[in-house]
Amino acid sequence: MINNYEVIETLKMINQENLDVRTVTMGISLRDCAHSDPKIACQNIYDKITRYAEKLVPVAEGIETELAIPIVNKRISVTPISLRLCILNKIALNGETSSLDVPLCCTQYDDFR
């Protein structure tokens, strides 16, 4: 149980020492967004990120209000997007010019040709 001393100390840290929460991060896995069609894969990635992160800021702001502690940054973190983009690039290239606006990368994914 929280005692009065702890509450007073926390309030003092917030008011006098500018205590805040630096960052709230939502982690999102994109592993299930793969598709052999690069356009569909990109749409899957976009849809998943926007669906999951839709309420990140309002929820973080609600926590800020409830706890009376400012949260400075709200951000998302996804599985390395380079893994998805490299695979998409390999599929899109297929011996032709890439239709994607991403650089060719990740030679370790040659098995996706």
| C-beta neighbour count of 104 within 10 angstroms | 13
| Domain limits, the chain | 20-112
List, for residues 35-84, the tens digit of each pLDDT value. 877 788 888 889 999 999 999 999 999 988 988 888 889 999 988 776 65
Token couple for 72 = 């400075």
- Least confident stretch, 10-19, 66-75, 96-105: 96-105
Q: What is d(CA 61, CA 91) in angstroms, rounded to the nearest whole number? A: 41
Q: Average pLDDT of 95-103? A: 45
Amino acid type, 43 = Q
Handedness of CA 74, 80, 27, 56 (dihedral sign): positive
pLDDT given for residue 106 in this prediction: 39
User: What Å distances lie between residue 105 and 38, 89, 93, CA to CA?
Assistant: 15, 8, 12
Entry pTM: 0.59
Count of positions (residues) in the chain: 113
User: What Å distances lie between residue 106 and 26, 61, 74, 78, CA to CA?
Assistant: 26, 38, 30, 18
